[in-house]
Amino acid sequence: MLIDIKNLSAFYKNRLILDEINLKINEKNFICILGENGSGKSTLLKCICSLKKYSGTIVKKPYLRMSYLPQDNILIEDLSVKDNLKLFISDRNSLNNEVIDLFDLRVLFPVKVKNLSGGMKKKLSICCCLIDEVDLLILDEPFVSLDSKAIDLIINVLNEKKDQGMSLIYTTHLDSTLYIADKKYYLSNSQLEEIE
């Protein structure tokens, strides 16, 4: 088990948004969190990453390698694609990564991020999270702004990473991306319910 969440509760602007949530994330497990805007999906992911205060317990496997992509843009707009990628690579001298090539980003290395389309920025952001090997990838609305070809590419890369042992927890509003999840949950009225 990578993460064991027990009785997790959290507030957002003095409103109880998560009420005694329980969730287990196992190895090679893809979990999708669904819910309306403002239901607490992003808050749950932030709690898992220790970026938000909460009560309850989140027990993580020792030395767990995680990567988190928030819903908002993580890129530095005035830097080039290459320089943004360098910020996320463990070995700063090496840009020989197959994910960069799969995402066709090498030709965009000199381009400043501010000159990219919204979809290309999202692809670059996801690539930044996939460059290094992680045990758990946490993606908040990763498929927003992407066309169907880009979504298919990202899903293929995610499934390859799963075969190598990676787990994933992600939020989405797109029914077309639900099929990759081993388990699906719906967050509503501060409660997390598993759905079939």
- Structure confidence by residue, pLDDT tens digits, 106-136: 999 999 999 999 999 999 999 999 988 899 9
Q: What is the pLDDT of residue 20?
A: 97
For residue 57, pLDDT beyond 80: yes
The predicted structure's pLDDT at residue 192: 97
pLDDT at 93 over 60: no
C-alpha distances out from residue 34 to 22, 85, 137, 169, 179, Å: 15, 30, 17, 11, 13
pLDDT tens-digit readout, 32-44: 999 999 999 999 9
Q: CA distances (Å), 76 to each of 113, 121, 132, in order?
A: 7, 10, 19
The whole-angstrom separation of Cα 43 and Cα 39 is 9
- C-beta of residue 138 within 8 angstroms of C-beta of residue 49: yes
Give the sign of the dihedral formed by CA 107, CA 76, CA 121, CA 70.
Answer: positive
For range 2-21, the mean pLDDT = 96
pTM for the full predicted model: 0.94
What is the rounded average pLDDT of the residues 38-53?
96
Rounded-to-integer distance, Cα 23 and Cα 69, Å: 20
What's residue 97's pLDDT?
81
The dotted CATH code for 3-189 is 3.40.50.300
User: Which sequence spans correspond to the domains of the chain?
Assistant: 3-189
Question: 45 or 145: which carries more pLDDT confidence?
Answer: 45
- How confident is the model at residue 152, as a pLDDT? 95
